[in-house]
Amino acid sequence: MFGFLAPGCAYAQGGGGPCTNCAFPLASTRGVMVTADDLVAQFETEVAAHDFVLEDIREVDLYNSGSFLNNDEIPPEARRRVLDRLGGLDPVECVLIESRPEYVTEASLGAARRALGPKRLEVGIGLESAADRIRDKLIHKGFTRADFENSLAVLARHGAVPLAYVLLKPLEVTEREAIEDSVETCRYVHAKAREAGIESKVALQPVFVQPETALAHAHASGRYRPPWLWSVVEVVRRAAPLGPIHVGTKDDFPPPVAVRANCGRCDSAFEAAIDAFNASADIRTLENLCCECKVRWASELVQRDSQRSLNPSHVGR
């Protein structure tokens, strides 16, 4: 895993963003351009700090708090040099990059493929939700399902694999709606990838609250609670039969002020079960989880729904 200090997400700093959950600007130069030489030097410093063979590093994840395929964030020359280096580095078999869908183009993917060679290339795309209302109106993501589907077609043509990020419980979404939306989004991702003739993976990201975000303001005023671990487990149980799914981290930079949680007493058992699921992809690892807080979770699902149905301003999808 390698994080570039780079300009960061152009969308977050432009007119449309940032997304309501996003603290990416805090992990970037906030739009100040970084030269290709500088970016390559950052990367080479990290490469030199590892013995890839001894440590048996088979996957390298490249993060730049934005879109690796956007020329205004990562110059094409830097992309070419970094991917070319990884293409020749044993025992690396797989490289993950991240991008908004609009930068997944014939030109950018073709160049990436030529530089990396035949190694596996995964492209993380923050779809977040298949529902337009949630993705666009509530998260402010600023792209359409058609944009995402077009990117799948480009990835298919270049033999790359999408890793779709699915956000569990964005701002203004109730616990129950969040569960349903994440399961439906997994269903959508796998179906569209099948149509495009490529494999697919989902990274389920239970929301955590980072400072200086719309989410942080809502959390501070008591209007938002991150998802229950019960909900995370519920989504994985229902979505795992639909296709590969992995549960994302509960930590990032800057450090979150609130993360997915149950009652506090059972949280470590749940996190251990989630780790076991991530390692094995076996949903039996999520069986036998019990705690008396399940009643509170279940009543929240019902209660919030009934409140919602009584309040017309919260209805509609």
Which window, 15-23, 90-98, 260-268, 297-305, contacts Zn ion (CB under 5 A)?
A: 260-268
Instruction: Select from 33-41, 208-216, 265-273, 274-282 the region that touches Zn ion (CB under 5 A).
Output: 265-273
Task: Provide the residue type at 206 as one letter.
Answer: P
Closer residue to Zn ion (CB): 9 or 293: 293
Among 111, 156, 242, 263, binds Zn ion (CB under 5 A): 263
Report CA torsion sign: 8, 258, 181, 19. negative
Q: Secondary structure of 22-53 in the HEC alphabet?
A: CCHHHHCCCCCCCCHHHHHHHHHHHHHCCCCC
Which residue of 151, 185, 210, 262 would you call a contact of Zn ion, by CB under 5 A? 262
Q: Which of 83, 291, 297, 301 binds Zn ion (CB under 5 A)?
A: 291
Please, what is the minimum distance in Å from the beta carbon of residue 264 to Zn ion? 7
For position 266 contacting Zn ion by CB under 5 A, the verdict is yes
Ordered strands of the 201-206 beta sheet:
2-3, 59-63, 94-98, 120-128, 161-168, 201-206, 245-247
Q: Where are the beta strands (DSSP E) in 90-200?
A: 94-98, 120-128, 161-168
Residues in the chain: 317
Q: Tell me, residue by residue from 218 to 257, as one string, x for binding to Zn ion by CB under 5 A and - for no binding.
A: ----------------------------------------
Min separation Cβ 179 and Zn ion, Å: 17
Q: Identify which of residues 100 and 169 has a Cβ nearer to Zn ion in the complex.
A: 169
* CA distance between the termini of the chain: 37
- Strand pairing category for 120-128 and 201-206: unpaired
The three-state secondary structure class of 227 is: coil
Measured between alpha carbons, how far is 227 from 206 in angstroms, rounded to an integer? 7
Q: Mark 1-40 with x for binding to Zn ion (rule: CB under 5 A) and - for no binding.
A: ----------------------------------------
Closer residue to Zn ion, CB minimum distance, 178 or 233: 233
Return residues touching Zn ion (CB under 5 A).
262-263, 266, 291, 293
